[in-house]
């Protein structure tokens, strides 16, 4: 066996071998496939090359790559086998209508045995039982022993397609015999066995069919080659590692997990074979690190949900190891450092990745804390027979999802650990019921709005001719207020919808040519008028429906009909305000990337005439200094008064030039590129179909009016431009003058004066709270004197006047300390609702006599509430405040019954 070869050496040898044989070296494609909706992630090395197998003129005939892949089909196997992972790299050599089986088999064999040095006598191969050509090549060209060539059917030896459709074909796998001692012991054990004896090294796929979405296949005109070798698998064999997670790129992460576990719990997981928890954490943090580096951020949808799920699974495995604080963000740095040589894009994003992961960890810890008590109550109730034994109901699972954000797979995972199942159908039914309620509410709210009827007339599309509207009201700032309409071409109404609205006066129609911008890309639609004959209709919206540009208007006289001639006029003053704000969003994104880093990408936007909103990827609040710097950078570009130009070009050419594209957006092959400052000092280059000013100076001024969080890892900036921004500056100046008069301080002393007042106010509030706690504590001391004895245990329940949970918790701590040995239940109707807190002293907890969680669950049920917690202290909330006194009185019966049970 070869020994001592590093992963970087294997990578280099692979590239060298195939480039010497005429293959173009192709860099790894992104983890999200481009223009392939059938796949969430790039799951195999051939995914980026799928179109080339049917392309008559692919950019190259031969290619070699080491592709980053993310695959979830083996998620549950990670940590249970030595060779499964979610994130991995695939060594691949490809042919697109060039060489075929003979070269693929010969080169694959030569690379593994002569270049890498794997022992030929320990290798086995499999072929498709119908692929006699491949079997003949192995026998005659390679002189491979017939007894180690094993034929199988489609299950083992037919690969593809990647997704629902695409190239596919028979394959020939190469396996390494790890020795009979690691296998099942059967005399007929071969590569088809499920034991660990035979370790797949590579798969030579022969794409000779094209599968369609309906499952039918047709022969490819130009058969090709798709050879895939698991990079980590090959490295583990070469390096003598026990698993793919213990190679020179995996072991540092595993050791870092051990360090974290030891620091948190004082116990270091032993060296040697890593446990399931260590492997799952190391694997998942590696996958999350690479995904986030490509701006795939945790969310509740699509690829983002996968990243969120991986992080959450790793956090829960960390809890098993005794790690109760965020730690994965530190491991992401280890991944970036270990893998950075081959993946240089990780280093500049290391801090950003850590911020994303830490934010997600913190959010999930909060979710777990809040939802675990409800989950435990559900499990306990099921165990007692109050619900179906051994099953978490769909209603309960949905309640966890709806209240605490527990996804179904997390509930299932936690339930499985307790020997329970989850009613998935019940969960789906509860989810659909909620959606139906939402649809009904939405329908009710929109009952009086203009609806969309079935389209009548022939199918047609409007041609947009409104990008270059000259200013109809002269030069200068008067354009902002002038009530001028700009005429477009005389157009023909080519189709209309059924008339809608309560009175039938609404109409939607399509024009042959239109100067109206239809709402898209975050930019609101134009408004204006449509004149038919001597009747002018107000156009109130323009939408894209079923690839049609639908103009929405009020038409009480019913003059709009297919074939009617119409004069379209855009409200140009309103359009100019929108253009200023749209161009400002481009400048804002450029400023954000300049100040915060290249990890910033647009996540959404809204551009109207009065303001703009821009959502972007970033994982911390913006400081006042950062906001000021971003605002000043944009305003400096406005003062520079540089040109804003547009150009149509091929999508690939635009991306190669560096144009920014919206993540997840589908673009046509021909795109419009907006460049700000081209030919001078380029400030922004973006794909955009919207409308813009001609020079940045037209915007006038830019002011940020708000910065906030809209989701994990997504921030929002709201801003204004032009006269609105100038007006805001005047309002701020007026506010400063007013504060000077009220606080009797100079402008540069206002902040210090405000802080002084805030500090004094805080001290007074603390003094009041301290006095309140003192009074509350005294009342508890007097109540303890009236404690009852039940089954030989001191017990007390009481209603207090606590205004909030903090005060009630302080009273509960006082009660627990004052009882000496006993149990108690306090309740209050606070500003946040009705709350119960149960306490049990340590001596009773150690004896197993009582648990506060059991007490509070039963007491809360009297009110219709829920709760849970630790054995010595637990709380509950919700339910009917009118039943609080009943719950407190029943405490004595509940506690008495639970003693020793």
Average pLDDT of the chain to the nearest whole number: 83
Please name the residue that has the structure tokens 């020997």. Answer: 419
pLDDT confidence tier of residue 335, bands split at 50, 70 and 90: very high
pLDDT, average across residues 415-426 = 81
Beta-carbon contacts of residue 338 (< 8 Å; ≥ 6 apart): 249, 252, 253
Per-residue pLDDT at 477:
28
Sheet architecture: strand order including 684-687: 644-650, 670-676, 684-687
Can you tell me the distance from the alpha carbon of 267 to that of 255, in angstroms, rounded to the nearest whole number?
A: 13
Measured at the CA of 645, the angle between CA 644 and CA 650, to 5 degrees, comes to: 140
Six token digits for residue 162:
């990647």
pLDDT, tens only, 320-331: 888 888 999 999
Please name the residue that has the structure tokens 């593994």. Answer: 112
pLDDT confidence tier of residue 376, bands split at 50, 70 and 90: confident
Measured at the CA of 147, the angle between CA 144 and CA 150, to 5 degrees, comes to: 90
Per-residue pLDDT at 215:
85
pLDDT, average across residues 776-785 = 72
In this structure, of 439-453, 509-523, 692-706, 771-785, the range with the lowest mean pLDDT score is: 439-453
Can you tell me the distance from the alpha carbon of 659 to that of 675, in angstroms, rounded to the nearest whole number?
A: 9
Does the pLDDT at position 457 exceed 50?
no
pLDDT, tens only, 593-610: 999 988 888 888 999 999
Six token digits for residue 626:
């950062």
Residue that wins the pLDDT comparison between 288 and 563: 288
Can you tell me the distance from the alpha carbon of 553 to that of 567, in angstroms, rounded to the nearest whole number?
A: 14
Please name the residue that has the structure tokens 């009710």. Answer: 444
Does the pLDDT at position 437 exceed 60?
no
Residue 505 burial (CB < 10 Å; 0-12/13-18/19+)? middle
pLDDT, average across residues 451-473 = 47
Does the pLDDT at position 40 exceed 90?
no
Compute how many other C-beta atoms are within 10 angstroms of the C-beta atom of residue 565: 11
Does the pLDDT at position 372 exceed 60?
yes
pLDDT, average across residues 108-114 = 94
Compute how many other C-beta atoms are within 10 angstroms of the C-beta atom of residue 604: 14
pLDDT, average across residues 370-394 = 69
Per-residue pLDDT at 449:
24
- Note whether 819 and 796 are within 8 A (CB): yes
Per-residue pLDDT at 282:
94
C-alpha separations of 238 from 10, 111, 231, 248 in Å: 9, 13, 11, 11
pLDDT, tens only, 350-362: 888 888 898 888 8
pLDDT, tens only, 159-192: 878 777 888 999 999 999 988 888 888 888 999 8
pLDDT, average across residues 671-684 = 87
Judged by DSSP in three states, 799 sits in: strand
pLDDT, tens only, 112-135: 999 999 999 999 999 999 999 999
């Amino acid at each position: 066996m070869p020994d001592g070869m590093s992963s970087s050496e294997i990578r280099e040898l692979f590239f060298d071998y195939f480039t010497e044989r005429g293959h173009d070296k192709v860099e790894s494609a992104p983890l999200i496939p481009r223009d392939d909706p059938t796949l969430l992630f790039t799951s195999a090395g051939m995914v980026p090359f799928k179109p080339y197998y049917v392309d008559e003129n692919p950019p190259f005939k031969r290619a070699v790559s080491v592709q980053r892949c993310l695959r979830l089909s083996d998620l549950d196997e990670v940590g249970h086998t030595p060779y499964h992972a979610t994130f991995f790299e695939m060594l691949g050599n490809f042919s697109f209508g060039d060489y075929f089986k003979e070269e693929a088999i010969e080169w694959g064999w030569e690379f593994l045995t002569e270049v890498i040095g794997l022992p030929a006598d320990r290798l086995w191969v499999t072929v498709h039982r119908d692929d006699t050509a491949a079997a003949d090549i192995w026998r005659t060209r390679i002189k491979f022993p017939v007894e180690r060539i094993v034929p199988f059917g489609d299950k083992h030896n037919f690969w593809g397609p990647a997704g629902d459709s695409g190239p596919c074909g028979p394959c020939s796998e190469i396996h390494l015999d790890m020795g009979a001692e690691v296998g099942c012991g059967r005399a007929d054990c071969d590569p088809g066995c499920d034991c660990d004896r035979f370790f797949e090294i590579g798969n030579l796929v022969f794409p000779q069919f094209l599968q369609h979405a309906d499952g039918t296949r047709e022969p490819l005109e130009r058969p090709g080659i798709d050879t895939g070798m698991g990079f980590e698998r090959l490295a583990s064999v070469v390096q003598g590692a026990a698993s793919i997670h213990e190679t020179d790129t995996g072991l540092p992460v595993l050791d870092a997990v051990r360090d974290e576990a030891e620091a948190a719990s004082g116990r270091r997981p032993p060296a040697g074979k890593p446990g399931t928890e260590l492997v799952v954490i190391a694997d998942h943090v590696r996958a999350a690190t690479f995904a986030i580096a490509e701006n795939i951020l945790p969310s509740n949808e699509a690829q983002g949900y996968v990243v969120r799920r991986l992080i959450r699974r790793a956090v829960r495995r960390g809890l098993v190891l005794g790690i109760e604080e965020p730690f994965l963000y530190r491991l992401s740095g280890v991944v970036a450092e270990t893998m950075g040589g081959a993946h240089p894009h990780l280093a500049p994003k290391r801090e950003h990745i850590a911020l994303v992961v830490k934010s997600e960890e913190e959010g999930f810890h909060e979710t777990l804390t809040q939802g675990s008590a409800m989950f435990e109550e559900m499990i306990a109730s099921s165990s007692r027979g109050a619900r179906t034994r051994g099953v978490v109901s769909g209603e309960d699972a949905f309640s966890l999802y709806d209240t605490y954000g527990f996804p179904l797979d997390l509930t299932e995972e936690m339930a499985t650990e307790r020997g329970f199942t989850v009613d998935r159908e019940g969960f789906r039914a509860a989810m659909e019921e909620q959606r139906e309620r939402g649809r009904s509410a939405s329908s009710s709210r929109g009952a009086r709005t203009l609806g969309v009827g079935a389209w009548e007339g022939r199918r047609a599309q409007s041609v947009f001719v409104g990008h270059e509207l000259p200013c109809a009201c002269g030069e200068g700032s008067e354009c902002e207020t002038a009530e001028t309409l700009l005429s477009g071409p005389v157009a023909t109404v080519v189709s209309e919808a059924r008339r809608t609205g309560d009175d039938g006066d609404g109409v939607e129609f399509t024009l042959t040519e239109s100067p109206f911008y239809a709402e898209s890309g975050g930019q609101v639609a134009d408004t204006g008028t449509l004149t038919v004959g001597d009747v002018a209709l107000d156009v109130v919206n323009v939408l894209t429906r079923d690839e049609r540009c639908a103009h929405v208007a009020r038409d009480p006289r019913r003059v709009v009909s297919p074939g009617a001639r119409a004069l379209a006029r855009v409200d140009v003053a309103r359009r100019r305000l929108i253009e200023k704000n749209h161009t400002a969003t481009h400048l804002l994104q450029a400023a954000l990337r300049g100040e915060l880093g290249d990890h910033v990408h647009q996540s959404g936007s809204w551009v109207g005439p009065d303001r703009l909103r821009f959502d972007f990827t970033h994982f911390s609040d913006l400081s006042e200094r950062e906001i000021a710097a971003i605002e000043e950078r944009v305003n400096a570009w406005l003062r520079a008064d540089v040109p804003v130009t547009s150009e149509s070009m091929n999508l690939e050419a635009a991306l190669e030039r560096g144009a920014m594209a919206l993540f997840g957006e589908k673009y046509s092959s021909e795109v419009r590129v907006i460049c700000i400052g081209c030919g001078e000092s380029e400030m922004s280059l973006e794909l955009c179909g919207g409308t813009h000013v001609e020079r940045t100076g037209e915007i006038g001024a830019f002011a940020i009016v708000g910065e906030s969080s809209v989701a994990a890892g997504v921030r929002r900036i709201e801003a204004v431009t032009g006269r609105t921004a100038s007006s805001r500056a005047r309002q701020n100046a007026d506010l400063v003058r007013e504060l000077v008069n009220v606080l009797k301080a100079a402008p540069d002393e206002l902040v210090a004066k405000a802080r002084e007042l805030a500090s004094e106010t805080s001290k007074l509030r603390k003094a009041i709270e301290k006095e309140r706690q003192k009074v509350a504590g005294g009342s508890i001391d007097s109540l303890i004197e009236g404690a009852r004895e039940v089954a030989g245990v001191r017990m007390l329940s009481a209603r207090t006047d606590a205004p909030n949970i903090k005060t009630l918790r302080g009273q509960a701590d006082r009660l627990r300390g004052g009882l000496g040995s006993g149990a108690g239940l306090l309740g209050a109707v606070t500003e946040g609702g009705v709350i119960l807190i149960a306490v049990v002293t340590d001596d009773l907890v150690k004896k197993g006599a009582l648990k506060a969680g059991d007490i509070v669950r039963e007491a809360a049920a009297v009110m219709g509430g829920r709760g849970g917690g630790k054995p010595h202290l637990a709380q509950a909330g919700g339910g009917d405040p009118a039943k609080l006194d009943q719950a407190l009185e029943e405490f004595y019966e509940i506690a008495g019954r639970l003693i020793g049970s």
